[in-house]
Amino acid sequence: MLYSKILSLRQNHLGYITINPLLNAFSLEMCQEIDAAENDEFIRKTRNSILNRLKNYEIGYHVELQQALRDYSEAATYLSLKSKGILLEKVPENTNKTPDFKVNLEGKEFFIEIKTLGFGGGEENYIKAMEQGLDAQVSIENQLKAGNTTAIAITAINPLKQGEQDYSYSRQKDFIETIIKKIKGLVKQGQFEAGSTILLIDLSLIPIPADFKVNSIPIFPLFENQKLKNLVSGILWYSAFGKENERIFSPIEFEGDANIKSELSIEGILNKNDFIKALCFQVYNLRQERKVVGFYRAKDEDSIMPLLSPFCDFVNDEMNTNGWRILQML
What residues does each domain of the chain span? 2-86, 172-327
Residue 316 has, within 13 A of its CA and on its CB side, a CA count of 28
- State residue 135's pLDDT score: 46
Strands 314-317, 230-233: pairing is unpaired
C-beta atoms surrounding 261 within 10 Å: 19
Q: Got the DSSP string for 193-204?
A: -SSSEEEEEE-T
**What pLDDT, on the 0 to 100 scale, is given for residue 143?**
53
Mean pLDDT of 277-281: 96
Enter the pTM of the model. 0.84
152-191 pLDDT, tens digit each: 544 444 555 555 554 444 578 988 998 999 899 888 888 8
CA distance 330 to 325: 9
Higher-pLDDT residue of 288, 294: 294
* Residue 134 binned pLDDT confidence (cut-offs 50, 70, 90): very low
CB 294 within 8 A of CB 315: yes
Q: What is the pLDDT of residues 199-242, one digit of tens each?
A: 999 998 887 888 889 999 999 988 755 677 888 999 999 999 99
Cα distance between residue 86 and residue 63, in whole Å: 32
Given this model, what pLDDT does residue 233 score?
A: 94
- pLDDT, averaged across the chain: 83
